[in-house]
Amino acid sequence: MAQVKSDIEIEKIRNSSLLVGKTIAEVARHMRPGISTIELDKVAETFIRDHGALPAFKGYHSYPNTLCISINEVVVHGIPGKRELVDGDLVSIDCGTIIDGYYGDSAFSFGVGEIAEEVLKLMERTKESLYRGISAAMAGKRIGDIGFEVQSYVEEFGYSVVRDLVGHGLGTSLHEKPEVPNYGKRGSGSKLEEGMVICIEPMINLGGRTVVQERDGWTIRTSDLKPSAHFEHAIAIGRERADILSSFNEIEQVSNGNIHIIR
């Protein structure tokens, strides 16, 4: 069963999730064509540890790094390495932290240099779909209401919702119940209760919805090799509306001529 969190627990999750946003902003300051993804990963790990926290992803089911860095056709779980960013890349940065035993989790997608118009629109609309999903996340609604808002919006533009990967609960574990699909029917699924903490994370493809897992056991890419965008917030279910625990504010304030940030 999904856990209802106390006010104290929610504040601990908020504290951890806010650090995630600050970490992604620090990574964004270093993003440019020519930088390797492992260099960005090192920036994130140093920043997290310097703030007295632990990288939540590193060592999780033996995952080797601090960030998931997913480029272009990679949907999620891209492993940092020698690959260098190039002009035109769509880059998703997914990050997690642990403070005082509580997890934070959030993700943001960027464009590097000159980005194709269709990719910019994909990022803009994926981010908008996140907030539409959040608008349905309140006590008395159901999980399917969130997915319906995301799916119905992005499918208007001919995009596809990844079905194999979903959002999740968050707390003293990185992935708790309930699962939070980015597709669904109004009024379906488990009921949302005040105090539940979940992550909503639309993963939206420019092409078809099917995905493939690479041989490394982590990297998930689109089957048709078309781009995918990813945005994620951690939220607490409230009586009348969601309380967004993570933040994009620091990310959106970064001034870096090498990247395009959807504001």
Instruction: Report helix, strand or coil for 190.
Output: coil
Selection from 184, 213, 180 nearest residue 197 by Cα? 180
Selection from 230, 249, 232, 250 nearest residue 119 by Cα? 230
> Which residues, 6+ apart, have CB-to-CB distance to 157 below 8 Å?
121, 125
Residue 239 exposed, middle or buried by CB count within 10 Å (0-12, 13-18, 19+): exposed
What kind and span of H or E run contains 197? strand 197-200
Selection from 161, 124, 156 nearest residue 146 by Cα? 161
How far is Cα 31 from Cα 37, in angstroms, rounded to an integer? 9
For residues 244 and 134, the answer to whether their CB atoms sit within 8 Å is yes
* Partners of 107 in the β-ladder: 94, 232
Cis before 64 (ω within 30) = no
> Which residues, 6+ apart, have CB-to-CB distance to 198 below 8 Å?
2, 137, 167, 168, 169, 170, 178, 180, 234, 235, 237
Look up tokens 């002009």; give the residue. 87
CB count in 10 Å sphere of residue 118: 11
**Token pair recorded at residue 236:** 């607490």
How far is Cα 141 from Cα 150, in angstroms, rounded to an integer? 15
pLDDT in tens, 141-179: 999 999 999 999 999 999 999 999 999 999 999 999 999
Q: Helices H, strands E: what count in the chain?
A: 5, 16
Q: Which pLDDT score, from 0 to 100, does residue 3 have? A: 86
Q: Which pLDDT score, from 0 to 100, does residue 2 have? A: 74
Per-domain residue ranges for the chain? Answer: 7-261
Identity of the amino acid at 152: S
Point out the residues of the chain with pLDDT beneath 70: 1
What kind and span of H or E run contains 98? strand 90-99
What is 7-261's CATH number? 3.90.230.10
Q: Which pLDDT score, from 0 to 100, does residue 210 have? A: 98
Q: Which pLDDT score, from 0 to 100, does residue 1 have? A: 63
Answer positive or negative: Cα dihedral of 235, 236, 242, 244. negative
